Amino acid sequence: MNYCSKCLYPTSHPLNIILDKKNICSGCIIHEEKNTLDWNKRFDKLNKIIKSYKTKKKDMFDCIVPVSGGRDSHFILHIVKKILKLNPLIVDYNTHYNTEAGIRNLNYLKSIMGTTHFNLTTDPKKVKKITHTTLKKFGNIYWHCIAGQTVFPVQIACKMNIPLIIWGAHQGIDQVGMYSHLDEIEMTRKYRKEHDLFGYEAEDLLEITNLKKNDLENYMYPSDKEIFSKGIKGIYLNNYIRWDSKHQHELMISKYKYETVKQERTFDTYNHINCLHYSNLHDFFKYLKFGYSLINDHCSREIRLKRITRDQGIYLVNKYRNKEPNNINYFLNWMGIKQKELKYLFDKFRDTSIWVKIKNKWVLKNDLKIKLDSSNKINIFKKDNFISNSRKSNKEFIKGPILFGKGYDI
């Protein structure tokens, strides 16, 4: 396990990073395009592409925008509605791990944008059954979330004959430079199967687990034939807009009062705040399996955008990655398993080719070396570096998972 000399991604990254002669990773190399490409030209290209999808009738949908209560949904919708002037149908998949702030963000978003919204909420019994299976077999509690989020928009696109789906950032480009922004990569079933679902679509789970077709029917991708004949096309805005998640969120906070939440294992208060477990239990499993965490993602992002140095990043990684994940009890309760079983799974899925036990403590065989001296440790991230915003009154915050929340009519 090696590291990029510029950012903090390791070679154990599941999407693979390729290091060049100077040990700079493919992700950093592609990221440089943010500074070299003419982004005005790129945006013009986007305008050209969506032109043919703009329907002439006012009551018809021009495109589908998949959303959630966290991440880039506010920004994507803002671009689609306000800048590109398209009429989107928004769709969201209920992860069942919703936080109160996440529910509110999504509900306010719908009202503010005035968009029609479709939601897929799978029967909780089925979601639990699927998650228990993926947890035991893969050490993964997020399969149903990603499977649902990536398939529901495509199913609706087919059913309603709305061929264009607009996504935000392509993870492969964003993290490991899988493609150049100029490749203008589009959504493919192949990427979903291989990288989103680590090789296991619903059909594959049917073959290797006890799950039945009944349990997984919501997660089945439409046929190749249907996708081809209807011309379903998914594009990524980060190929046409210089992507900066932090700036974009801050714009959304000022414009639409997007709510933030302080997280345990990262300094970022904007991303994934709609989910109880993404930056907690799910991130912990990632750490065990691949030797890096969400904090590495966030630091690498900030290093590449030149807001922190690599050494500062290493300090932050070291500070956050060993923090106890929050909300574990809610998960155990929801899943109906005991702490003992979870501990067993932690041990099972820890990759011992990258971890080693020294003096009864687990350490990475090859770890990042902290160089920062103590005087620099203080005040790296000032309190106001990440804006805090909440719509909450003094009422008690609901702490557990929320399946459905109140809507807000403005």
Partner 1 sequence: MKTRIIGVVNILNGVAVQSIQFNRFLPIGDPKIAIEYLFSWGIDEIIILDISREKKMFKKFSYFIKNCFVPVTIGGGINNMKDVDHLIKSGADKVAINTQAINDPMLLESVSKKYGNQALIVSIDVKKIKNKYTVFTNSGMVESKISLKEIINIAENSGAGEILINSIDSDGTKKGFDKRLFIFTKNCTNLPLNICGGAGKTSHFEEIINLGPSGICAANFFHFKEQRVRFLKDYLVSLKKNIRISN
- Contacts with partner 1 by CB under 8 A lie at 15-18, 20, 26, 29-30, 176-180, 182-190, 193-195, 199, 224, 227-228, 232-234
Residue 319's Cβ-side half-sphere holds a number of Cα atoms within 13 Å equal to 15
Q: Which is nearer to partner 1, 33 or 311 (CB)?
A: 33
- Terminal CA-to-CA distance of the chain, rounded, Å? 52
The DSSP H or E segment spanning 132 is helix 124-138
List, in sequence order, the alpha helices (H) in 6-72.
Answer: 26-31, 33-36, 39-51
Task: List the structure tokens of 399.
Answer: 């702490």
Question: Strand 361-364 relative to strand 355-358: parallel, antiparallel, unpaired?
Answer: antiparallel
Min dist CB 178 to partner 1, Å, is 6
Q: Which is nearer to partner 1, 227 or 316 (CB)?
A: 227
Q: Which is nearer to partner 1, 136 or 233 (CB)?
A: 233
Q: Which is nearer to partner 1, 69 or 153 (CB)?
A: 153
Min dist CB 221 to partner 1, Å, is 11
* CA 228 to each of CA 148, 163, 188, 231: distance values in angstroms, whole numbers, following the listed order: 21, 10, 11, 5
Q: Which is nearer to partner 1, 223 or 352 (CB)?
A: 223
Q: Which is nearer to partner 1, 194 or 351 (CB)?
A: 194
Q: Which is nearer to partner 1, 224 or 324 (CB)?
A: 224
Task: List the structure tokens of 186.
Answer: 């589009």
Min dist CB 226 to partner 1, Å, is 11
Min dist CB 291 to partner 1, Å, is 17
Min dist CB 182 to partner 1, Å, is 8
Residue 324's Cβ-side half-sphere holds a number of Cα atoms within 13 Å equal to 4
Q: Which is nearer to partner 1, 17 or 109 (CB)?
A: 17
Min dist CB 91 to partner 1, Å, is 18
Min dist CB 355 to partner 1, Å, is 22
Min dist CB 141 to partner 1, Å, is 23
Min dist CB 215 to partner 1, Å, is 24
Within 8 A by CB and 6+ apart from 188, the residues are none
The DSSP H or E segment spanning 116 is strand 116-120
Tell me the three state secondary structure of residue 10.
strand
Give the Cβ contact number of residue 361 at 10 Å: 7
Q: Which is nearer to partner 1, 124 or 199 (CB)?
A: 199
Contact 284, 321 (CB under 8 A): no
Tell me the three state secondary structure of residue 267.
coil
Task: List the structure tokens of 396.
Answer: 């008690």
Give the separation between CA 314 and CA 5, rounded to whole angstroms: 12
Can you spell out the DSSP letters for 300-358?
HHHHHTTSS-HHHHHHHHHHHTTSPPTTHHHHHHHHT--HHHHHHHHHHHS-TTTEEEE
Min dist CB 359 to partner 1, Å, is 34
Q: Which is nearer to partner 1, 183 or 264 (CB)?
A: 183
